[in-house]
Amino acid sequence: MGCELRRIRPGEGGRLREIRLRALSEAPDAFGSTFSEEADRPDDDWDRAATARSAGEAEATFVAEVDGNWVGLAGGYRLSDQPGTVRLFSMWVAPETRGLGTGRRLVDAVLVWARAAGARAVDLWVTLDNDTALSLYRRAGFLPTDECRPLPSDPSRQIQRMMLVLIEPG
């Protein structure tokens, strides 16, 4: 099973919506938004997101594809209040392809893009009881910070900010 990683392309808004809703359905406790919130977004929003994330240094989405089927995604965007920091978001791998290194490849794709875009650091928020994700991010070099807060989609759960410094301040 060959898995191709690539950046999303303009015109793939419908596919982006489909995989995002699949991720939210399969792992609702891993994301800050809910299935219903995302399902209610108009098609134009998805098309604009795909186009915006297909090129440039402001934001990006990468997809993992097997035999034409999307089996994973991860995105990054520059934080407006911290221009040197990129936020890793929407990380998800389909259950049937977990354990094959797809998650790490998606994280690495975001890190390569962030470095090329001149980012000094990459951060993310992860649910504290998601041991698989925590392990993946630690192996990729992310370190936990002291920042924790309730998960927006389920305030009974806690998320923690993790950070990877790409370029030490000099």
For residue 45, CA distances in Å to 17, 30, 42, 49, 50 come to 9, 22, 6, 6, 9
State the sign of the Cα–Cα–Cα–Cα dihedral 155, 140, 7, 5.
negative
Question: What does the domain layout of the chain look like in residue ranges?
Answer: 4-165
Nearest to 124 by CA among 105, 106, 144: 144
**What's residue 170's pLDDT?**
58
- What DSSP line would sit under 57-89, residue for residue? SSEEEEEEEETTEEEEEEEEEEETTEEEEEEEE
Residue-wise pLDDT tens digits, 56-113 = 999 999 999 999 999 999 999 999 998 899 999 999 999 999 989 999 999 999 999 9
Contact between 12 and 65 under an 8 Å Cβ cutoff? The reply is no
Residue 168 pLDDT exceeds 70: no
CA distance 69 to 110: 20
Average pLDDT, the chain: 94
CB atoms within 10 A of CB 55: 13
Strand ranges in 12-142 using DSSP code E only, listed in sequence order: 59-66, 69-79, 82-93, 121-127
Topology, domain 4-165: Aminopeptidase (3.40.630)
Comparing 37-41, 43-47, 75-79, 165-169, which segment has the lowest mean pLDDT?
Answer: 165-169
